[in-house]
Amino acid sequence: GAGVSQTPSNKVTEKGKYVELRCDPISGHTALYWYRQSLGQGPEFLIYFQGTGAADDSGLPNDRFFAVRPEGSVSTLKIQRTERGDSAVYLCASSFSPGESEQYFGPGTRLTVT
């Protein structure tokens, strides 16, 4: 079956611009997570959705970052006024339910801010 998909796979943007990153979870998965992976590091948690609502957004680094999941399926991570330090691979994962320990990861979006 289809796994988690993310678009675009690569995004290059100029400092100060706005970007949107999309995640399509596995069908039927109610929990959706966003992580950020910097070069040479492990993924770091950003935000977690259960259904349409953000259950935990404690990992968002500042108010330039925002994410939505309006219909409880596709999610969009939005970054305003991008900075060079935002350059990283943004990973999305989904799981069948919040109590399900296995998360399935997408291939990631590599964001480069020039």
Partner 1 sequence: GNSVTQMEGPVTLSEEAFLTINCTYTATGYPSLFWYVQYPGEGLQLLLKATKADDKGSNKGFEATYRKETTSFHLEKGSVQVSDSAVYFCALSGSGNTPLVFGKGTRLSVIA
**How many residues make contact with partner 1 (CB under 8 A)?**
28
48 binds partner 1 (CB under 8 A): yes
Among 10, 16, 18, 55, binds partner 1 (CB under 8 A): 55
85 to 16, 32, 46: CA distances (angstroms) = 12, 24, 15
For residue 59 the two structure tokens come to 């990992």
Q: Provide the residue type at 108 as one letter.
A: G
70 binds partner 1 (CB under 8 A): no
Among 21, 25, 26, 33, binds partner 1 (CB under 8 A): 33
Taking the complex as a whole, the smallest distance from the CB of residue 36 to partner 1 amounts, in Å, to: 11
103 binds partner 1 (CB under 8 A): yes
40 binds partner 1 (CB under 8 A): yes
The position carrying tokens 């925002």 is 66
Q: Provide the residue type at 3 as one letter.
A: G
Q: Which residues contact 58 (CB under 8 A, 6 or more apart)?
A: 45
Residues at the contact surface with partner 1, assessed by CB under 8 A? 3-4, 31, 33, 35, 40-45, 48, 50, 55-56, 59, 91, 93, 98-99, 101-108
